[in-house]
Structure 1
Amino acid sequence: MLDVSEPPARSATFGGRGIGYDERVLTPRPWTEGQSLWARELLDEVPAGPVLEICSGAGHIGLLAVSGTDRTLVQVDADLHACVWASRNARSWGISSDIRHGTMSEAVMVDERFALILADPPYLPSDDVTRFPEDPLTAIDGGGDGLDLARQCLDVIERHLVRDGVALLQLRDVEQGRELESDAKQRGLTIAENRRFDGGAVLLLRRTTEGRADGRQAES
């Protein structure tokens, strides 16, 4: 007989609050609280406007980033189970988040612009994913060099970041960030900082004056 029972719910503490998830969703990594807190600091500097989180998983990074602010939040994930948990966690935290199930390129409307974009893609090379059998494959497999989804995140950032906005892109390590320098430059983005955390790394991305701004080619 087919087992259609739901896996047991799990809970983690993130930013001093509870985050729910189950075995079908990547376990929240404690170190990523640093990405949330960095984002929160940046929200005091960037223009008015909403926050976008792509590859949001259970939603914890984006929720902590906007908690206590008046910023609206949009969260996107290609995995339906992740979206379900992101929605539950948003309700638990009392935050109104627009949860969207779909690919990052399809779930964000062409004319939408964001003051801050959080990107938390899978970043392991495909050959390495078997080392982590407890993790959902779709949440960790970043393709041949581990950066396929990260490059897609750069595409979204290029199209949807406001001119003076910022993006924080999560990666495995600072070396991956160096590998993305040319990809970012091709999209009119610059890596303003490549910050190491105890568990990963996060890139701070800004637009360059020569790049694309608000979806249109910047004038010289």
Structure 2
Amino acid sequence: MDLARPDLAPRSVSFGPLTIAYDARVLTPRPWTVLQAEWARELLAEAPPGPVLELCSGAGQIGLLTVHGTGRRLVCVDVDPVACGYAAANARAAGRGDLVEVRQVALDGLPRDEVYPLIVADPPWVRTDQTGCFPADPVLAIDGGVDGLRVARECVAAVDRHLHAEGSALLQLGSVEEARRLRDELPPTLELVDVRAEAGCGLVLLLERP
């Protein structure tokens, strides 16, 4: 830790039954995103065998809560080395160090032959011109590009490459308008099946194969 930067001191927050560590360089885990993990757990109960994939994992809280209490393996993917470090540390703290693989790679960096029965993604979805409205949040973790959907589109492409034929993907977005625009851009190999929302916070899209 940089002793000249007290804001980089590790912090922790409860996320369901888990305690998640992070610091100011990583997006603070939002309590309402437990919704995504709980929905993922519902889907996981009926999902085909195989590991869960978490895209834009940050500190790993959504993926870790998804697989909590199960024997499922988890692969966390993020481009931020600090976030990846916390995801690995949080996996160890949750007693899952041997069941979680953390990869610091771009969303198109996964081997093409990897297939996952469940994919969860919490991409940045704030428009670039609005990131200044959230000074406490790391820009890398919230900047979704000009229209807020740049990273979400990359997630959809990754889902299309790696989702099992009978699998499910849960993608978090910031607004109904974003959801409508992304729905209209989906490839024919994916469809929007359902949406769940937390009032005033965001929403989660369920994508599956047609």
Measured after TM superposition, the shift of residue 188 of structure 1 is 1.4
- In the alignment, which residue of structure 2 is the partner of 1:154? 156
> In the alignment, residue 203 of structure 1 is paired with which amino acid?
L
- In the alignment, which residue of structure 2 is the partner of 1:203? 205
- In the alignment, which residue of structure 2 is the partner of 1:77? 78
Sequence identity percentage: 49
Residue 182 of structure 2, aligned match among 180, 183, 190: 180
Aligned residues: 205
The 8 Å contact of residues 154 and 187 in structure 1, kept in 2 or not, is answered as no
The C-alpha deviation readout for 1:153-187, integer Å capped at 9, x for no partner, is 00000000000000000011222111111221x25
> In the alignment, residue 65 of structure 2 is paired with which amino acid?
L
Measured after TM superposition, the shift of residue 5 of structure 1 is 5.9
Distance 1:61 1:141, change over 3 A: same
The 8 Å contact of residues 174 and 194 in structure 1, kept in 2 or not, is answered as no
- TM-score, normalised with respect to structure 1: 0.90
Measured after TM superposition, the shift of residue 16 of structure 1 is 2.6
The 8 Å contact of residues 174 and 196 in structure 1, kept in 2 or not, is answered as no
Distance 1:4 1:111, change over 3 A: farther
The C-alpha deviation readout for 1:103-129, integer Å capped at 9, x for no partner, is 1111x1111000000011000111110
- In the alignment, which residue of structure 1 is the partner of 2:69? 68
Name the CA distance, whole Å, in 1 between partners of 2:198 and 2:175: 8
- In the alignment, which residue of structure 2 is the partner of 1:44? 45
Is 1:98 aligned with 2:101?
Answer: yes
**5+ residue gaps, structure 2:** none
The 8 Å contact of residues 13 and 19 in structure 1, kept in 2 or not, is answered as yes
Instruction: Name the SS of the counterpart of 2:179 in structure 1.
Output: helix
Name the CA distance, whole Å, in 2 between partners of 1:167 and 1:117: 5
- In the alignment, which residue of structure 2 is the partner of 1:112? 114
Name the CA distance, whole Å, in 2 between partners of 1:187 and 1:139: 29
Distance 1:57 1:187, change over 3 A: farther
- TM-score, normalised with respect to structure 2: 0.94
**5+ residue gaps, structure 1:** 209-220
